[in-house]
Structure 1
Amino acid sequence: MGEGLYWWFAVLFIGLQFLKENMPDINQNPGILEFLNDYTELGFSSVLLFLLIGTVLTIVVQSSSATMALTLLMTAEGWIPFDLAAAMVLGENIGTTITANLAAIVANFHAKRTARAHLIFNLLGVLWMLILFYPFLNLISWVAQQIGSESPYVNAAAIPVAISLFHTFFNVLNTFLLVWFITPISRIVVWSVPEKIEVEREIDEPKFLNQKMLQFPETAIASLLKESKYLFQNTIFEIVTHALNIHREDIKSELKAKKVVKKSIEDFKTDVRALYLSKVKNIYGEIIRYATNAQSTLKLTKVQNNRILEIKVANRKMVEVLRDVKELNRNVSIYFVSENKHIKKEYDLYRKLAVQVLRVIYNIPTDDTEELQKNLIVLRKKTNKKLSEHNVQIDHLIRKNLITTDMASSLVNDNDNVRDVLNNLITVAELLYCRSDTLFAPVNEQKESLIEVA
């Protein structure tokens, strides 16, 4: 988000604070609201008007409790009746959510979702209350009389008690009612505020490439490995996952791959190139530079030199993954919500295979490289077999005219893209995690002829 937008919101909140501090002190001079008495005879329009007034007052005063106190004061002075005081209370329930939503505009998507959920929850509560407004007020009047108070319709002195009952009953019933609709409300919130990777304005820097570690082959290789593994299991994992419109949390969960794909229905609008430039390019360049320096300045055994070459290849493969997933991202975002069930099913298959591979990457064991190697071999065979079978399915869809020419072209190209992405991910895992640590290589290997790459 641009710096100008942050300034805009800074000025907005300064303006709100200025308005709050310089407006007439309503608490000390409540008489300035007496004019509202002229708008109490408009029927249900008055209810809507005072609901709006309650909302605006809460935003300006920035305190629902202060607005509640003003509402009770206005009823005590006889300026507004019980029903309009209740309407103001409903407005306060909306107004109290506005500040949080304004603040969340420049926050991350988690904060936006929280604020949006609060707003939707209160709006739904106000909506159903307006539908049952007068019957509910009659119920409150009856309850007030049952506990020894008078009817708020008859005696203005009884309105504060009735308003307190109204506020309490409304919030309790609203919570009890809407708690059964948490799932659809959360879906609305997730749909309205999609998850996004916030593109960092600053270029990410390496975390483990220390020049002091470049003095010895073992420490240099260890640093290269640590940096490369961190890049792979964090940044590459994150970008690929979001490029396929899949939540990282779902990859890490116990949900079956098919269910993960089924529930991921948002377009994250991931800019793969921007993320590569800000999160990967600099670190990739530093890894290659560090590795080349190690090969040029250190006396390495053949084993050690080969290990550095493998690390360099692994990093190059990571960049290739981003190149291919960038091509894949556009069509996934178009077709994973397509009305054509056939094309949607094919892209769901691509995403399902990606979930299975990404899940292995996230859960890579650190203590059993032999078992990992076996798992990666099986995963590669299974993935390639599925994609080969998928070619037959594409031919079937084309022959039966179940997809358009453009869809067929996209599927054919993306079948290759998916194959390259997933195979390269598996290759990176093999290169980084399934090779013997040179620190523990056999002595005779360590004593092989030293080579110094000029």
Structure 2
Amino acid sequence: MLRKIFLPTIFVVLGYGFWISPDFKEIAAGVAIFLFGMLSLEEGFRAFTGGILERILKFSTDRLWKSVSFGVLSTTLMQSSSLVSVITISFLSAGLLGLSEGIGIIFGANLGTTTGAWLVAGLGLKVKISSYAMPMLVFGVIMLFQKPKVVKGLGYVLAGLGFLFLGIHHMKEGFEAFRETIDLAEYAVGGYPGLFLFALIGIAATVIMQSSHATLVLIITALAAGQITYENALALAIGANVGTTITAIIGSLSANEQGKRLAGAHLVFNVVTGLIAIIFIAEFVRAVDTISLWVGIRDADYTLKLAVFHTLFNLVGVLVMLPFIGKLVQFFEWFIKTREPSILGVKYLNDASVDFPETALEAVRNETLHIYDNAVKLIANGISMPRELIFSDRALDKAVARQARIIEVDIDDLYERSIKGIYSEIVSFTSQATFSWEMEQTGKIHWLRNANRNIVDSIKDIKHLRKNLLRFIVTDNATIRGEYNRLRVLVASVLRELDLARRAEGDEMPLLSIDALKLMVEESDDQLNERLVGLLRDERITPAMATSLMNDSGYALDACRNLLEMGETLFVHRDEDVAEAERDVALSDEEIDDILDEGDSR
């Protein structure tokens, strides 16, 4: 209901303002142009997040101080805490960051966003920046029509800066003209009632405009024109700081539990910081006056003093909250629990990461590992072997001979609840993600999509195998029972070896281990064909049993081949050079056939 009336109400208020005052029209237009500049700037920086920003983030967050520093520097450069928040949430949801590192980045982003106030107060109001806006817009728009992604990105950045400067100019001009018709400073409210009232106004303005930068520019230009008092400007700045959390909250709606926890921590940090600033407002004002005296800011230069205040209370907030990051993590892990739904859904995919190729690749890879873990449970149950037994150190052939108990499980139901939904989401996500990517990144997504199809196909093979397997592993005919147990051992061996390849570290070469498994699988096929002739000749099994065994061995072999092909994609070294070297020495299908032929001829 609120959503339906919110937008019309804004339109009515703006329309009334345009009707009663042309000066208000210029202020509103300035805000709109500034916001459009922010959007253009974010779009421009997105062009440079096709791997560079993500790679920097990976290596810049292994320590808390690095996380905070990354938040400060990235927000200072991009002048958008919103973009940094969205990137952080997408990384967190993709499993590339821990919650404490994500909180550190958000703390740093709050400090980095204070540089915007310094730029506007120190440069935007003292230089005729509209004269710089026009050339930026001209060159920026020309670059937007070029095909190269980097050039187009630079065009968005230039055009964004041009619109930012133009928006600041119109807001400044509008407030100065507005002063001649009405003095908003007459409506100033003093004391703590004024602090809380104007803090709420600051929150509302930031929620509406979705940009604390825009709110701060509006506050600074209004303060410069004398339309608001210094004390009320401080309260508005506090409110803008709290209101900016709405962006992280909106960004977390499509994220997993980790993303929601980060948004919650962001809200707690900004609310606590705001309350500290309000409660100790007198101390902060005195500190601002002292610092201003040290750095040479004039007593009457309230716009620069506002920038000092904005930086100071954010810095105090970070220093106060840093020791409590561990407690924040514990609280939100308790408060927002990871739920286990009846139908399992994706854990790492979210809409926010689609625009960031490296992040999206990691999200899909982690989600593929998620679906593989679910598939392993299903396959283990499908061949009626406990998962703990498969991944133990026990000899599989001896363990299987003693494991005649049938594990009752509904394969179709398990597939519906733990595989199908995730697989559908991965297919949908990868279809969206590859639309505007480079060929190399699109190729990697293609391989990951194939890996998911391999996993699903292996499950279908096990489903077909299970029909006869359950009957023959409990039969009185020891020969056919032994042959089906061999198939169980084969599938279990592949799962066990893939797990070892997955956990391989250092100089081990998983791809070569997978080659050895391929040879084992193909040799098993040849050995079974040889045994079948003897078993039929000696009448140890019936022709009907032999037919079932041939069909079911095909299912088992196909399941193993699909799992091994998936393993080549998921479990080889992540380092591109190492992976390429492994592929150079890996065996092709033709080479595997040649080796088997040589073995037969000896």
Check whether the contact 2:378–2:414 (CA below 8 A) recurs between aligned residues: yes
Aligned residue in 2 for 1:216: 356
Instruction: Flag the 1:369–1:404 CA change in 2: closer, same or farther, 3 A.
Output: farther
Q: Which moved more, 1:391-400 or 1:317-326?
A: 391-400
1:213 Cα offset (Å): 1.6
Q: Are the counterparts in 1 of residues 572 and 579 from structure 2 also a CA contact under 8 Å?
A: no
8 A contact 1:350–1:418 mirrored in 2: yes
Query: Residue 498 of structure 2 contacts residue 514 of structure 2 at CA under 8 Å; is this kept in 1?
Result: no
Deviation of 1:362 after TM superposition, in Å, equals 2.6
1:432 to 570, 576, 579: 570
Q: After the TM superposition, which residues 48-447 of structure 1 pair with which residues of structure 2 at under 5 Å, given as runs?
A: 202-232=342-372, 234-296=373-435, 298-300=436-438, 302-363=439-500, 364-365=502-503, 367-368=505-506, 371-434=509-572, 436=574
- Residues 432-441 or 339-348, more deviating: 432-441
Unaligned runs of 5+ in 2: 1-339, 581-602
- Consecutive unaligned residues of structure 1, counting only runs of 5 or more, are 1-199, 443-454
Q: What is the CA deviation profile of residues 160-198 of structure 1, one whole-angstrom value per residue up to 9, with x for unaligned ones?
A: xxxxxxxxxxxxxxxxxxxxxxxxxxxxxxxxxxxxxxx
Contact 1:325 1:417 in 2 (8 A): yes
Q: SS at the partner of 2:354? A: helix
Deviations 1:380-424 (A, max 9, x none): 101210221111111221222211232111101011111101111
- Looking at structure 2, the residues matched to 202 and 438 of structure 1 have their Cα atoms a distance apart, in angstroms, of 38
Q: Distance in 1 between matches of 2:370 and 2:391?
A: 16
Q: 2:479 is aligned with what amino acid?
A: H
Counting only pairs closer than 5 Å after superposition, residues 29-40 of structure 1 correspond to structure 2 as none
What CA deviation, in whole Å up to 9, does each residue of 1:228-266 have, x standing for no partner? 01211x211111111101011111211011122123211
Kindly provide the amino acid, as one letter, of the partner of residue 351 in structure 2.
Q
C-alpha distance 249-441 of structure 1, shift in aligned 2 (>3 A): closer
> Structure 1's 240 and 369: CA in aligned 2 closer, same or farther, altered over 3 A?
farther
What secondary structure is seen at the aligned counterpart in 1 of 2:509?
A: helix
8 Å contact from structure 2 (residues 396, 493) kept in 1: yes
Identical-residue share of aligned pairs (%): 28
Q: What does residue 236 of structure 2 align with?
A: none
Structure 2 contact 353–360 (Cα < 8 Å) conserved: yes
Counterpart Cα distance in 1 of 2:364 and 2:399: 33
Q: For residues 485 and 493 of structure 2, what CA distance do their matches in structure 1 show?
A: 12
Normalising to structure 1: TM-score of the pair? 0.50
Question: What is the CA–CA distance in structure 2 between the aligned matches of 1:217 and 1:398, rounded to whole Å?
Answer: 57
- Post-superposition Cα deviations, 1:110-169, rounded to whole Å, max 9, x if no partner, equal xxxxxxxxxxxxxxxxxxxxxxxxxxxxxxxxxxxxxxxxxxxxxxxxxxxxxxxxxxxx
Paired amino acid for 1:276: Y
* Matched AA of 1:348: N
C-alpha distance 289-438 of structure 1, shift in aligned 2 (>3 A): farther
In 2, distance between residues paired with 1:318 and 1:275? Answer: 14
Q: What is the CA–CA distance in structure 1 between the aligned matches of 2:386 and 2:574, rounded to whole Å?
A: 33
Q: Secondary structure at the match of 2:345?
A: coil
Judged with a 3 Å threshold, the aligned counterparts in structure 2 of structure 1 residues 303 and 369 are, in CA distance, closer, same or farther, namely farther
Provide the rounded CA distance (Å) in 1 between the counterparts of 2:407 and 2:526. 29
C-alpha displacement of 1:371: 1.1
Distance 1:435 1:286, change over 3 A: farther
In 2, the alpha carbon distance for the partners of 1:441 and 1:236 equals 25
Taking structure 1 as reference, are residues 291 and 392 closer, same or farther at Cα in structure 2, changes over 3 Å only?
same
**Structure 2 residue matching 1:215: 3-state secondary structure:** coil
Residue type of the partner of 2:361?
Answer: I
Q: Are the equivalent residues in 2 in contact too, given 1:369–1:434 (CA < 8 A)?
A: no
Distance in 2 (alpha carbons) for counterparts of 1:355 and 1:204 = 24
What CA distance in whole angstroms lies between the structure 2 residues aligned with 1:440 and 1:346?
Answer: 39
Moved more, 371-380 or 431-440: 431-440
Deviations 1:54-99 (A, max 9, x none): xxxxxxxxxxxxxxxxxxxxxxxxxxxxxxxxxxxxxxxxxxxxxx
1-structure distance, mates of 2:508, 2:429: 29
Distance 2:560 2:343 in 1: 27
Q: Is the alpha carbon distance of 1:400 and 1:310 closer, same or farther for their aligned partners in structure 2, counting shifts above 3 Å?
A: same
2-structure distance, mates of 1:411, 1:428 = 25
Structure 1 residues 244, 226: CA separation in 2 closer, same or farther (over 3 Å shift)? Answer: same
CA distance in 2: counterparts of 1:362 and 1:368, whole angstroms: 16
Q: How many residues align?
A: 240
Distance 2:384 2:571 in 1: 27
In structure 2, the CA distance between the partners of 1:440 and 1:293, relative to structure 1 (3 Å rule), is farther
In structure 2, relative to structure 1, the CA distance for the partners of 1:417 and 1:355 (3 Å cut) is same
Matched position secondary structure for 2:475? coil
* Aligned-pair CA distance for 1:303: 2.1
Cα distance 1:439–1:397, how it changes in 2: closer, same or farther (>3 A)? closer
Q: 1:435 to 1:293 in 2, by over 3 A?
A: farther
* CA distance, structure 1, for counterparts of residue 496 and residue 539 of structure 2: 35
Label 1:441 to 1:236 Cα distance change in 2 as closer, same or farther (>3 A).
closer
Counterpart contact for 2:573–2:579, Cα < 8 Å:
no
TM-score by length of 2: 0.38
Aligned-CA RMSD value: 2.2
1:438 Cα deviation after fit: 6.9
